[in-house]
Amino acid sequence: MTLLRYLHLDVFAATLGGGNHLGVVIGANDWSAAQMQRFARWTALVETTFLLPPTDPKASYRVRIFTPHKEIPFAGHPSIGSAHAALACGLAEPRDGLLWQECGAGVLPIRVEGSGASRELLLQSPGERVLDTGSAAHPLLPAALAGIRLGALPPALIDGGRRWWLAEVADEACLRAWQPDHAAIGALAQASNSMGLCAFARSAGSEYQLVVRALPAGVGIVEDPASGAANGLIAAYIARTEPQGTLARGYHVNQGREIGHDARLVVQIDGTAIWVGGRSHIVIDGTLDWDPRVA
């Protein structure tokens, strides 16, 4: 049995250990979906990815993304972390400053800015649809929002690779002190076939302009320390509703401090194109002694 390469990354971290975990397997070209799923279940990470040769001639590489329970077509931090791994392992090279990631959502561009430890990768979000807006958009929404004062933008259900309820909170202090009702958020997520609720607030600080708390109860996660896809939907919603606002060209995000993390995400908005990303760090680089044939 051939030993495969396995990387464990810290994605979107502002400080060491502050980001989101990601496992990346390289060389499992002959594994079936069931074999990949079994390994992802064992890692018990929010997502584990498998870097594979592309099938589309435009793509730099192909990635398959698994939660412990199922394969998903797209997610933010697994895409950024996998792109970082592909560059670090020499599996891909940028073309005109871009990598092209083949995944279940299509072939998506990733900007490569800088190099070395300061390199930032930004993924173009695959587009979004506003499905509903307002505090009365769903009968279970008020219970999920209990305990917070809402901000300027109305709550919204948005679909774009992942489906999230978004809610702006009145201020940063209110969002950070909030004690969410996870059961209510889970009920809303199940009833609306969504990930859950992603709340955000504007910040007057200089290091970041938005604070985000993502609560993906729909997939059994209490709180996510760094959410690329959800932040892409927030950025699209802000760009759509406030095209002349102070955040309409981009901003920095802080996420995860309420659960002991410290993530930093970068958002760039070019017209209708939304780019979300940040830095990644390979914490573990080793070999994988795992026989996929053993049930």
Per-residue model confidence as pLDDT tens digits over 178-221 = 999 999 999 999 999 999 999 999 999 889 999 999 999 998 89
Nearest to 198 by CA among 184, 183, 185, 179: 185
User: Which residue, chain included where needed, has tokens 């506003």?
Assistant: 130
Rounded CA-CA distance 58/99 in Å is 10
| Contact indicator for 231, 276 with CB cutoff of 8 Å | yes
In this structure, the strands spanning 210-215 and 197-202 are antiparallel
Q: What is the pLDDT of residue 163?
A: 94
Query: Is residue 237 scored above 80 in pLDDT?
Result: yes
pLDDT, tens digit, for every residue of 77-106? 999 999 999 999 999 999 999 999 999 999
**What is the residue-averaged pLDDT of the chain?**
95
Segment 53-69 shows an average pLDDT of 96
In this structure, the strands spanning 48-52 and 4-11 are unpaired
Residue 194, classed as helix, strand or coil, is: coil
Rounded CA-CA distance 193/151 in Å is 25
Q: Which two tokens stand for residue 73?
A: 């077509």
Query: Is residue 294 scored above 90 in pLDDT?
Result: no
| Contact indicator for 64, 39 with CB cutoff of 8 Å | no
Q: What is the pLDDT of residue 23?
A: 98
> What are the residues facing 8 on neighbouring strands?
23, 284
Q: What is the pLDDT of residue 1?
A: 58
Segment 107-129 shows an average pLDDT of 92
Burial class (CB in 10 A: 0-12, 13-18, 19+), 251: buried
Would you give the distance in Å from CA 217 to the centre of its chain?
A: 15
Q: What is the pLDDT of residue 60?
A: 98
Q: Domain boundaries in the chain? A: 4-119+279-288, 129-273
Query: Is residue 171 scored above 80 in pLDDT?
Result: yes
Q: What is the pLDDT of residue 254?
A: 98
Q: Return the CATH architecture of domain 129-273.
A: Roll (3.10)
Segment 48-68 shows an average pLDDT of 97
Nearest to 153 by CA among 95, 214, 237: 237
Non-local (6+) Cβ contacts of 55 within 8 A are 62, 102
Q: What is the pLDDT of residue 135?
A: 96
Confidence of residue 151 (pLDDT cuts 50, 70, 90): very high
Non-local (6+) Cβ contacts of 273 within 8 A are 124
For every residue of 104-134, which 3-state class applies, written as one string? CCEEEEEEEECCHHHCEEEEECCCCEEEEEC
Q: What is the pLDDT of residue 127?
A: 82
> What are the residues facing 274 on neighbouring strands?
269
End-to-end CA distance of the chain: 15
Q: What is the pLDDT of residue 117?
A: 82
DSSP class of 258: G
Q: What are phi and psi of 77, to 5 degrees?
A: -65, -35
- Tell me, yes or no, if the two domains 4-119+279-288 and 129-273 fold the same way: yes
Confidence of residue 271 (pLDDT cuts 50, 70, 90): confident
Residue 39, classed as helix, strand or coil, is: helix
Q: Look up the pTM and report it.
A: 0.94
Report the percent of the chain where pLDDT is more than 90: 91
CATH topology of domain 4-119+279-288: Diaminopimelate Epimerase; Chain A, domain 1 (3.10.310)
